[in-house]
Amino acid sequence: MITLLHNPRCSKSREALALLEEAGADVQVRRYLDDPLDAAELEALIQRLEGELSSLVRQNEPEWKALGADADEPHQVVEALLAHPRILQRPIADDGRRAIIGRPPEAIRALLD
């Protein structure tokens, strides 16, 4: 089972969902803006994240800039995402062992192997 943290308004997120569905993957879609991750879920996601922690947040968003937070500090990233779920990078595919940011969407193919 792959959980896709999804924003249907995002073209990259829609592409990632289509890629997973076309591959026949068992996908659970979680619209993280409607159903935000809690602190424990974010901390666990960070542990599984492949790549730099700083890539988890949309650092060009005004909400992030206003916080003046350190994108390499897990506690600050979690606090920022709890306050502003919109700044979570998307899409993210998570199979429970690894979490991959789908930028580009093709990056999530690594979970299909």
Q: How far is C-alpha 10 from the chain's CA centre?
A: 12
> What is the rounded CA–CA span in Å between residue 17 and residue 53?
23
CA atoms within 13 A on the CB side of 82: 12
Catalytic option among 5, 8, 9, 10: 10
Tell me, yes or no, if 10 is annotated catalytic: yes
Do 2 and 91 touch, CB atoms closer than 8 A?
Answer: no
Placement of tokens 């005004």 in the chain: 62
> What is the rounded CA–CA span in Å between residue 38 and residue 82?
7
Give the pair of three-digit tokens for residue 87.
């700044």
**Residues forming the active site:** 10
